[in-house]
Chains A and B, each alone.
Chain A
Amino acid sequence: MKLSEFGSRIVHVDLTAQSVERRPAPADWTRKYIGARGLGVRYLLEADPRVDPLSPENLLCFLNGPLSGSETSMSGRWACVTKSPLTGTVTDSHQGGWTAARLRWAGIDGLIFSGRADHPVYAFVEDGEVSLRDATPVWGMGVHETVSFFRERYGERNLSVCAIGGAGERLCRYAAWLNEDDRAFGRGGTGAVGGSKNLKAIVIRAGTKRSDVSDPAAWKAVRRRALDAIRDEKNITSPKKGGLSVYGTNVIMNVTNQIGALGTRNSQTTSFGDQAATISGEYVADHLLTGNPTCHACPVACKKQVRITEGPWAGLEMESVEYEPAWSLGANCGNADVASVAKMIDQCNDHGMDPIELGNALSVYMEATERGWVDGPGLAWGDTEAMVEMTEAIAARKGDGDLLAEGPAIVAARLGHPEIAMVAKGQAVPAYDPRGMKGMGLGYATSNRGACHLRGYVAAAELGVVPIDADPLEWRGKGELVKAFQDLHAFSDSLDLCKFSAFAEGADEYAEQYAVALGGEFKAEDVLLAGERIYNLERHYNNQAGFGADSDTLPARFTEEASTEAGSKGHVCELEPMLDEYYAARGWERGVVPAAKLAELSIP
């Protein structure tokens, strides 16, 4: 498995013709766009960016990065890249677990699906071959049952199953793909694109294979340096010692709550007060934790497996109570009951839905209920049993669940109040209120896949844990900073390493590992240049898809309604001046990439 040959093993699957063809990616593409996220966007550009996301013409790309599945620490990631049915933008989403590694061990770098099968199918991958097989027996099954079905059929050993559930089959706009039962391509509705193509699952069988690197002697040292940084007790990645390893991502809940950046009840306020404690990572660790699962080649083990012992969902075992869903289904819905949060995350994992979007669809509906805009009983804040029932109804598209399956922007618009949808480019905001963390607000507005915390995680600076001065309430200076984070992540998402690697590694470590593994020169500045090129390529795609000047916006709630809570009291998110700074740093014209910038970055 020569890492330097990455890109030569791309398999194109035409679902309409039921044909499978191996076609290497042009070398120029892997050099400029690296792999995974960047390479996927380059492929998408070959189809018309104005394509209907749920039509056969849309491409659905599952791509490894050049380091995915190698011995590189935290390299168990792959990307799903497509045009989103939720936003109409390009979208990319990433999964951990072992699927990416198994794809590499099976001798494949990526799968690109086009067309639409005339009956449900799944792709079976083994020994460098891809075949389409009949998925009729599993169509209608949830993800958990689908995984069990394939484990029974092919054996559990060396098997990975990545599948959609009922939400994807029924084209819920925020349907997700899940692998290993509970790791999601979460955002952007990639599962609905699978459903529209009648593609139920990708099943991969492959045993461990070692990777061949271009310079084995240097590789050992380079890998060791990165691993030492991950293990360094000063870093939160430090196994069993750092906050991320001990508490998981939900270690952030109390912080955002205390600084007035935890949107509550559909972001009507910015703190959940004392109630945040019972949905926090500390609470989960003290009361529910049963295990710390991990991904391929990762010593951090940030996943948190829990067991519910009391109440209506007693007996439920699931992973993982992450920060984002604990917020979206917790504080955001006025819900302080962590057992119900675990239940709904598990529903999302089984039906294949994005819990961030689900929580926001629910919170819009709850606010509308409170304000008397819903005909019928609606949904009350924190009514956990009704929330669980509504989640079922959404996955089944029954009753009002049919409307909520369209996502918060459409729910709010249909109820006559688009202003209560906390979205950017149609995608719901995640768990950092832009009034209390202003750089995050700029990041949401300028994210190429709609509101997102992961395109540029400037929170690391605003929460003071990287050595950069970035007062969360200061807007000045955030334009440059957000750009820098976005470019770095665009690169690591294209490698494809877990984003948490950036808590211990920087552009130097990325460059070093990439160069030694694949051969040739590659420096930290090349990391940032490639990241910038990928970010601009995505924006160029969006511009062609219809997102022109002044498309980078935030809901007026964040820019006009001041926070009333400690930490951020009196503050709004000053988006406009931050955008001026940001566009100047990017060289864009009000959000549009000019021809000169495309030429400067050799795009496409």
Chain B
Amino acid sequence: MGDGVLEVRFYATFRPLVGAASVELPLAADASVRDLLADILERWPALRPHLLDDAGGLGRRVLFLVDGRPVRYLEHGLDTRIGPGTPIDVFPAVAGGGSAKGRAPGPPAEC
């Protein structure tokens, strides 16, 4: 994979922080999700408390999708290689929040 441009889509409460629903970012050859995350945080520091946990890792509440798969469940995690055509979608917590004390579970919707 050579240098190129990558489209990253943001959703819900991340959109006002980024100022757009979708952005195009330059991508180095052999870039990983970790590189992309660093680039995103540099461009939009307001996202930092939302994307990272206290230890500086990707927060558990963030749904960071690489080609439709949550990055935390990919074999190589943040070291997964990405190329110009890789779909990237970044969501804040959307379906729930979980207890303030870290306990389980919770749902949405009416009726």
Contact = CB atoms under 8 A, between A and B. Distances in A.
B108 A186 contact: no
B20 to A, nearest CB: 12
Contacts of A232: 97, 100
Contact of B12 (A243, A466, A565): A243
Given A282-B12, A466-B104, A506-B104, A184 B111 contact: yes
A183 B70 CA distance: 34
A252 B107 contact: no
Contacts of B55: none
B69 interface: yes
Contacts of A88: none
The winner among A93, A468, A503, A568 for most chain B CB atoms within 10 A is: A503
A203 B51 CA distance: 48
Interface residues of B, number: 39
A416 B65 CA distance: 41
- Which of B12, B21, B95, B107 has the most C-beta atoms of chain A within 10 angstroms of its own C-beta? B95
Contacts, number: 198
Contacts of B37: none
B30 interface: no
A567 B105 contact: no
Contacts of B68: 258-260, 565-569
A500 B65 contact: no
B105 A461 contact: yes
B87 interface: yes
Given A243-B94, A252-B95, A484 B105 contact: yes
B26 interface: no
B106 A282 contact: no
B70 A471 contact: yes
A457 B96 CA distance: 10
B61 A465 contact: yes
A465 B95 contact: yes
B13 A249 contact: no
A234 B12 CA distance: 14
A235 B100 contact: yes
Contacts of B99: 229, 504-506, 508-509
A249 B108 contact: yes
A323 B109 contact: yes
Contacts of A229: 99-100
B8 interface: no
B65 A567 contact: yes
Interface string A151-188: 00000000000000000000000001000000111110
Interface string B2-31: 000000000111010000010000000000
A259 B65 contact: yes
A213 interface: no
A58 B61 CA distance: 45
B52 interface: no
Contacts of B56: none
Nearest to B70: A464
Interface in B17-63: 21, 60-63
Contacts of A254: 11-12, 89, 91
Contacts of A228: 100
A186 B93 contact: no
Nearest to B99: A506
A228 B101 CA distance: 12
Q: What is the interface residue range for chain A against chain B?
A: 35 or more
Nearest to B91: A255
Nearest to A93: B111
Contacts of B77: none
A249 B12 CA distance: 12
Given A255-B63, A322-B109, A499-B107, A465 B100 contact: no
A467 B98 contact: yes
Contact of A460 (B21, B69, B107): B107
A15 B18 CA distance: 60
A502 B15 CA distance: 26
Interface in A485-504: 485, 488-489, 499-504
A241 interface: yes
Nearest to B73: A471
A484 B104 contact: yes
A96 B110 CA distance: 8
Nearest to A468: B104
Interface in A269-315: 281-282
A499 B110 CA distance: 8
Contact of A236 (B60, B63, B73, B97): B97
Contacts of A500: 106-108
A459 interface: yes
A234 B61 contact: yes
A244 B108 contact: yes
A243 B69 contact: no
Given A282-B21, A454-B111, A509-B99, A468 B105 contact: yes
A93 B104 CA distance: 23
B98 A282 contact: no
A507 interface: yes
B102 A236 contact: no
A538 interface: no
Interface string A322-362: 11100000000000000000000000000000100000000
A496 to B, nearest CB: 13
A504 B69 CA distance: 26
Contact of A465 (B72, B89, B94): B94
6 contacts: A228-B100, A258-B89, A464-B72, A465-B96, A506-B101, A567-B65
Nearest 10 Cβ contacts at the A-B interface: A457-B107, A567-B68, A186-B111, A502-B106, A235-B97, A506-B103, A466-B98, A460-B96, A506-B99, A566-B68
Interface of A: 93-96, 176, 183-187, 228-229, 232, 234-237, 241-244, 246-247, 249, 251-252, 254-255, 258-260, 281-282, 320, 322-324, 354, 430, 453-454, 457-461, 463-468, 471-474, 484-485, 488-489, 499-509, 565-569
Interface of B: 11-13, 15, 21, 60-63, 65, 67-70, 72-73, 87, 89, 91-111
